[in-house]
C-alpha cells in the first residue's frame, strides 16, 4: 500500500469517479441521453445501466464482508452482461439515472461501514484467486465505471477525452498499492486500451513494464483479444517469448 490507507485512497478515487460521471452526464444532449443502443453498440443509458448493475452487486459483496449473505456466483459474465442490456434497453434515461443514484447512495453508505481490515480480507470478494476486497472495490467501483465513461467518449469520437480518462484512472489505481502484481495489472489494463485504439508503441512499452512486474500476465496476453492488434508485431513476439 502507498501513503494512507486503502480506504482513504479509495474514497478519493471514488470521488473522482462521481465527478467524472457528473461531468459526462451534464455534457450529454437530450438526444444522446434518450438514444437507443444495440447489444453490440451501447448508448449512454446502456453503459449506465451496466455499471449500475455491477455496482449493485458490489454493494452485496461489501455487505457480505460485514456478515450478510454473499451474492450468488456468476458463471458466464458475457451472458450476464447481455441479459442486463436486454432487461434495461427500453427504460428511459431518467429511470436508469434514478436507479444509478439510488445504488450509488447504497454503495457509499455500506462502504462507510467497511473497515480497513475488511478491505484487506477476502470476505465478500470473488473472482480468480479470491483477491482482497479492496481490489474488488478498485475494479468495480473505480476502473469499471471510468472504462465505460471512456467508451462513451470514444463513441462521441473524442479519443483525447477517452485517453485522458484512462490515464487518470491508471495513475490513481497505481497509487493504491506498490506490489508488483498490482502495478503490473494496472499497466497491463492501460496497454490494452492503447492496443485497442491503434497506439501500438505505447501499448508495447506498457506491456514491457507489466510483464516485468507481473510475469504471470504474459500467459494471459497470448489469448487476450484486447491485444489482437499486436499479435503480428515482432516486438510483441519478443515480449511473450519465455526464456
> Is residue 1 predicted with pLDDT exceeding 60?
no
- pLDDT value at residue 195: 97
Three-state SS annotation for the chain: CCCCCHHHHHHHHHHHHHHHHHHHHHHCCHHHHHCCCECCECCHHHHHHHHHHHHHHHHHHHHHHCCCCCCCCCCCHHHHHHHHHHHHCCCCHHHHHHHHHHHHHHHHHHHHHCCHHHHHCCCCCCCCCCCCHHHHHHHHHHHHHHHHHHHHHHHCCCHHHHHHHHHHHHHHHHCCCCCHHHHHHHHHHHHHHHHHCCCHHHHHHHHHHHHHHCCCHHHHHCCCHHHHHHCCCHHHHHHHCCC
> pLDDT tens-digit profile of 169-200?
999 999 999 999 999 999 999 999 999 999 99
Is pLDDT at 239 greater than 70 in this prediction? Answer: yes
Residue 87 has a pLDDT of 98
151 domain-assigned: yes
Q: Is residue 242 part of a domain?
A: no
Q: Identify the pLDDT of residue 128.
A: 45
243 — pLDDT class (breaks 50, 70, 90): very low
The reported pLDDT for the residue numbered 153 is: 96
pLDDT band per the 50, 70, 90 thresholds, residue 71: confident
Q: What is the CATH number of the domain that holds 10?
A: 1.20.120.450
Query: Is the pLDDT confidence value at 16 over 60?
Result: yes
Task: Assess whether pLDDT exceeds 90 at residue 42.
Answer: yes
Indicate the pLDDT class of residue 242, thresholds 50, 70 and 90. low
Q: Within a domain: residue 197?
A: no
User: Within a domain: residue 34?
Assistant: yes
Domain annotation covers residue 219: no
Let me know if residue 202 belongs to a domain.
Answer: no
List, for residues 17-27, the tens digit of each pLDDT value: 999 999 999 99
Average of per-residue pLDDT across 207-233: 95
pLDDT in the model for residue 67:
82
* Domain-embedded: residue 192: no
Question: What confidence category does residue 59 fall into, taking pLDDT thresholds of 50, 70 and 90?
Answer: very high
For residue 235, pLDDT over 80 is answered with: yes
What's the pLDDT at 123?
61
pTM attached to this predicted model: 0.90
Number of independent structural domains in the chain: 1
- Give the domain range for residue 160: 6-178
Q: What is the per-residue pLDDT for 121?
A: 87
161 within some domain: yes
Q: For 100-144, what is each residue's pLDDT tens digit?
A: 999 999 999 999 999 999 999 876 555 545 789 999 999 999 999
The overall average pLDDT reported for the chain is 92
Amino acid at each position: 500500500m502507498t501513503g494512507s490507507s486503502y480506504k482513504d485512497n479509495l474514497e478519493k478515487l471514488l470521488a473522482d469517479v462521481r465527478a467524472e460521471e457528473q461531468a459526462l452526464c451534464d455534457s450529454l444532449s437530450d438526444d444522446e441521453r434518450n438514444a437507443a443502443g444495440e447489444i453490440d453498440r451501447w448508448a449512454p443509458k446502456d453503459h449506465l445501466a451496466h455499471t449500475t448493475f455491477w455496482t449493485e452487486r458490489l454493494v452485496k459483496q461489501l455487505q457480505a464482508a460485514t456478515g450478510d449473505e454473499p451474492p450468488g456466483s456468476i458463471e458466464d459474465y458475457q451472458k450476464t452482461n447481455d441479459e442486463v442490456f436486454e432487461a434495461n434497453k427500453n427504460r428511459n434515461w431518467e429511470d436508469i439515472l434514478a436507479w444509478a443514484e439510488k445504488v450509488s447512495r447504497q454503495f457509499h453508505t455500506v462502504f462507510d461501514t467497511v473497515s480497513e481490515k475488511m478491505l484487506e480480507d477476502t470476505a465478500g470478494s470473488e473472482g480468480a484467486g479470491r483477491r482482497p476486497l479492496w481490489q474488488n472495490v478498485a475494479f468495480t467501483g473505480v476502473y469499471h465505471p471510468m472504462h465505460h465513461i471512456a467508451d462513451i467518449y470514444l463513441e462521441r469520437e473524442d479519443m483525447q477525452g477517452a485517453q485522458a480518462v484512462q490515464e487518470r484512472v491508471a495513475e490513481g489505481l497505481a497509487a493504491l498499492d506498490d506490489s508488483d502484481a498490482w502495478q503490473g495489472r494496472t499497466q497491463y489494463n492501460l496497454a490494452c486500451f492503447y492496443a485497442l485504439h491503434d497506439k501500438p508503441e505505447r501499448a508495447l512499452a506498457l506491456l514491457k513494464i507489466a510483464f516485468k512486474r507481473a510475469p504471470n500476465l504474459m500467459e494471459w496476453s497470448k489469448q487476450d483479444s484486447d491485444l489482437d492488434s499486436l499479435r503480428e508485431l515482432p516486438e510483441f513476439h519478443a515480449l511473450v517469448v519465455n526464456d
